[in-house]
Amino acid sequence: MKKRVKVVAIIAILFLLVGCSNSMDSPTKKVEQFLNKYQTNDKEVVDQFDTSLFEEETLSEEQKDKYKKIMLDQYKNLTYEIKQEKIDGNKAKVDVEIEVYDFNKSLDKAYSYLDEHHDEFYVDEVLDTVRFIDYKLDQLMDFKDRVKYTISFNLSRKDSKSDWKIEELSESDLQKIHGIYKN
């Protein structure tokens, strides 16, 4: 009798392990893992951030550090809700609603302020970019309004035994994660 109970227990454990391994590679799980990397400021996200986002503007080292802190805070405070998963063979689509700080709104306000306070940022009709970048960074640091966006993650795999892989996100979807997407 004891032998039979042990065999049943071992079979149950194996069944759970096999069942769990399949569910760990669902399209939804892959998207959750991806977004969790942002929320935890995973090294992969931070390294990508270091090499890509700073190329767009000329920032001093101090400004880069401040901008990085702002964006890492943005990522930590990203929340999401999986809305739907659709699987069609070896293709899948996962719709996610994310919520982030609305940095686009903050930047719009900064540019409006620039227009209204010309004398604070221009010297001899030339924009003092360092001063204006500092102003924008200060506005981003203090801005806490949030916005929701929907992102559709497309995933694929080679065959039913392969792992799901998230296809490259569009520029607009990355802007949504950064909170700078313009509708």
DSSP secondary structure letter of residue 30: H
DSSP secondary structure letter of residue 56: G
By C-alpha distance, which of 36, 75, 34 is closest to 53?
Answer: 75
Alpha helices in 97-170 (DSSP H): 103-116, 118-121, 129-142
Residue 179 near residue 101, CB atoms below 8 Å: yes
Torsion of CA 81, 83, 88, 89, to 10 degrees: 30
3-state helix, strand, coil in the chain (%, to 5): 55, 20, 20
- Tokens standing for residue 175: 């802007």
Q: What is the pLDDT of residue 14?
A: 35
Residue 103 near residue 178, CB atoms below 8 Å: yes
Residue 156 near residue 165, CB atoms below 8 Å: yes
Domain boundaries, the chain: 25-178
- Tokens standing for residue 102: 């609305």
Per-residue pLDDT of the chain (183 residues; tens, 9 = 90+): 444 434 333 343 333 333 444 456 899 999 999 999 999 999 998 887 765 555 556 788 899 899 999 999 999 999 999 999 999 999 999 999 999 999 999 999 999 999 999 999 999 999 999 999 999 999 999 999 999 999 999 999 999 999 999 999 999 999 999 999 998
CA distance 53 to 177: 13
CA distance 67 to 88: 40
Q: What is the pLDDT of residue 106?
A: 95
Long-range CB pairs of 159-162, under 8 A, 24+ apart, other chains included: 159/90, 160/90, 162/90
